Amino acid sequence: MAFIAFTKLIDFTTLTAKQRRELKTILGKREDQLKKAIKDVESALSKLEGTGRKSQKQSKGRR
On the question of pLDDT at 42 being above 80, the answer is: yes
SS3 at position 40: helix
Number of H helices, E strands in the chain: 2, 0
The domain locations on the chain are: 16-46
Tens of pLDDT, residue by residue over 48-62, are 887 666 666 666 766
Q: Which residue has the higher pLDDT, 4 or 10?
A: 10
User: Would you state the pLDDT for residue 52?
Assistant: 63
Computed on alpha carbons and rounded to an integer, the radius of gyration of the chain in Å comes to 24
On the question of pLDDT at 21 being above 90, the answer is: yes
SS3 at position 55: coil
Which residue type, as a one-letter code, is found at position 49?
Answer: E
User: Would you state the pLDDT for residue 31?
Assistant: 93
